[in-house]
């Protein structure tokens, strides 16, 4: 294989993983076929099997890539807000937003892959990849009081319910009431409907 074709093969693999990472979160693993995935990036099904031994192998790689994107997002919150406490509060604001609800393909993989992972065998690369990503997310959300898992579970449950009821008033209520519950002891957050303020207060966790 020439250097050019090797480079192209690497690029094709990267594109396939990136497309799968988004489409699996958007439509579910069973909602997108290998043929449709490859067609979305202008490649053939035959090209897929030159790169991946199976769809399951791609799912594991796509999930890992999605959690890599989440790591970059979390790091950007730390950079933008200067201290980790404020960054966590801003992440909660984003997570429980209509924007995040309505864009699952580029949203949190903890929620985006949750339904598919629940149907995966209890042992295997895909489940282990997902579990590791969830643990890393929880570690970022952790405080001196807990390991972050309660917050992650609450956020993911809320966004899944909000997506499942999108287009109804209940969806908006789920986002708003969950946000209020998580920030109640710290005062209202600016820019969030129903909090009754446009101030600059920052929650402390």
Q: What's the pLDDT tens digit per position in 102-159? A: 999 999 999 999 999 998 777 688 999 999 999 999 999 999 999 999 999 999 999 9
At 26 the three-state DSSP class reads helix
> Is the pLDDT at 188 greater than 70, yes or no?
no
Cα gap 99→135, rounded to integer Å: 24
Task: List, for residues 1-44, the tens digit of each pLDDT value.
Answer: 445 488 888 999 999 999 999 999 999 999 999 999 999 999 98
- In order of 67, 95, 154, the CA distances from 137 in angstroms are 9, 13, 13
What is residue 151's predicted lDDT score, i.e. its pLDDT? 97
Res 204: pLDDT: 32
Q: What is the mean pLDDT of the chain?
A: 88
Counting residues of the chain whose pLDDT is more than 90, the rounded percentage is 77
- Which residue shows structure tokens 């609800």? 101
Residue 194: per-residue pLDDT = 38
The C-alpha angle with vertex 27 and arms to 26 and 31, in degrees rounded to 5, equals 160
Contact between 131 and 69 (Cβ < 8 Å): no
Q: Both tokens of residue 154?
A: 């609450």
pLDDT at 185: 53
Of 106, 108, 98, whose CA–CA distance to 67 is shortest? 108
> Which residue matches tokens 């903890």?
110
Q: What is the pTM of this model?
A: 0.84
């Amino acid at each position: 294989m020439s250097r050019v074709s090797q480079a192209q093969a690497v690029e094709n693999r990267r594109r396939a993983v990136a497309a799968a990472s988004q489409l699996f979160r958007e439509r579910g693993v069973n909602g997108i076929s290998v043929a449709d995935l490859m067609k979305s990036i202008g490649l053939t099904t035959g090209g897929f099997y030159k790169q991946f031994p199976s769809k399951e192998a791609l799912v594991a790689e796509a999930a890992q890539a999605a959690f890599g994107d989440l790591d970059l997002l979390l790091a950007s919150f730390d950079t933008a807000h200067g201290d980790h406490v404020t960054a966590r509060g801003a992440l909660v604001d984003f997570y429980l937003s209509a924007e995040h609800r309505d864009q699952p393909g580029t949203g949190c993989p903890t929620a985006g892959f949750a339904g598919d992972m629940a149907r995966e065998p209890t042992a295997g690369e895909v489940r282990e990849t997902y579990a590791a990503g969830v643990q890393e997310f929880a570690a970022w959300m952790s405080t001196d009081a807990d390991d972050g898992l309660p917050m992650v579970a609450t956020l993911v449950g809320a966004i899944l319910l909000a997506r499942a009821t999108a287009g109804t008033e209940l969806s908006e209520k789920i986002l708003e009431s969950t946000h209020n519950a998580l920030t109640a002891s710290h005062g209202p957050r600016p820019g969030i409907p129903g909090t009754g303020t446009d101030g600059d207060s920052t929650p402390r966790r």
